[in-house]
Amino acid sequence: MISKDIILEFVALTLVFLAALFGNVTLFYVVGTNRNLRTRGNVFILNLAAADLLVAVVNLPITMTTVLADKWILGKTVCQISGFITLLTFVASCMALSMININRYHAIMQWQSYKKTYTKRKCLLYVGITWAITIVLSIPPFFGWARFDYDPGQSYCFAEWKASKSYTIFMIAACLCGPLSIMTYCYVRINLYDKKFALGITSSPNESENTRNTDPIACFKKRKKRLTRTILTLIFVFGVCWSPFALIMIAQVFFNAHVPRYVDFGSLVLGYLNSFLNVIVYNATNRKIREKFKQALQIAICKKPRVKYRIDPSSLSTGQFL
């Protein structure tokens, strides 16, 4: 007889799985089928979405199976692979957030050379380097520095932090403190640059004829707000979702704290939920993505999307529209 707690846990994981899978697949579809969304900055957004999609496709189904069985039934080899992929996706999310932040930093601080620094090939290279670093950070348990093992408190395989406190400290420094330091540095520098620009020390980051006759300070601030809004929201959501998980892990490893099952497992579900909430952030902070998402949803439910027409004043006499 399956207990009520198991049913509730399984239902919670199923809802997160469906939401994360649908949201991230739709995001790839929306960006891939709309040329104006295939920008340099969105390459790094998709990099984070790839990590989220990996969580939905691999991590969640395995955890759902384990919760339903109320024990690990997939064998030691699968536990090792699952533990590695789970750690990999967590580290990948941290690294992807750092890369998004660095990209936004260059878009504002080094706007003159941005297009040369972020060509299509270089963007793919940066993504490749990010994943290479992620693999290097996640692979040590295979070689004896900590180990991958089943965690009954959270019904999944992950790094057994108690097996090596040195690896735990290293991962906290590399995957939490490191990215947080990078994000903080970039944000502070952007704000200092904003103040200098407002004082007239730097020139406008956009010298097109469309903005030469506008207020350059207002133009810059609008651009800065647009570029930083998404990353700041992503960082906040990531912190809210994963902080309980990290704090519980630290309490268990360094203070031998006993954590109730519902708290321990709930922190994992909240961390998994981050894979879906990132999609919500993209929609909330990017109007173009939000509009294309609405069109995709309308198509999915067999409704014809609304087409917006722009009227050319010069064509009113002929009744033609653009």
Q: Which string of DSSP letters, residue by residue, matches 12-46?
A: HHHHHHHHHHHHHHHHHHHHHT-GGG--HHHHHHH
Question: What burial letters (b/e) apply to 273-305, b meaning 16+ CB within 10 Å?
Answer: bbbbbbbebbbebbeebeebbebbeeeeeeeee
Question: What burial letters (b/e) apply to 39-64, b meaning 16+ CB within 10 Å?
Answer: ebbbbbbbbbbbbbbbbbebbbebbb
Q: What are phi and psi of 305, to 5 degrees?
A: -65, 145
Question: Do 258 and 251 form a contact (C-beta atoms < 8 A)?
Answer: no
Domains, the chain, in order of start with CATH, read: 4-305 (1.20.1070.10)
CA 243 – CA 14 distance, rounded (Å): 22
pLDDT at position 274 is 95
pLDDT at position 300 is 78
pLDDT at position 92 is 95
pLDDT at position 176 is 83
pLDDT at position 57 is 96
User: How confident is the model over 96-130, as pLDDT tens digits?
Assistant: 999 998 998 898 888 889 999 999 999 999 999 99
Q: Pick from 4, 19, 13: which is nearest to 61 by CA?
A: 13
pLDDT at position 202 is 47
Sequence-separated (6 or more) residues with CB below 8 Å from residue 221: 194
pTM passes above 0.95: no
Under-50 pLDDT residues of the chain: 201-213, 309, 311-322
Q: Pick from 267, 281, 249, 242: which is nearest to 90 by CA?
A: 242
pLDDT at position 207 is 43
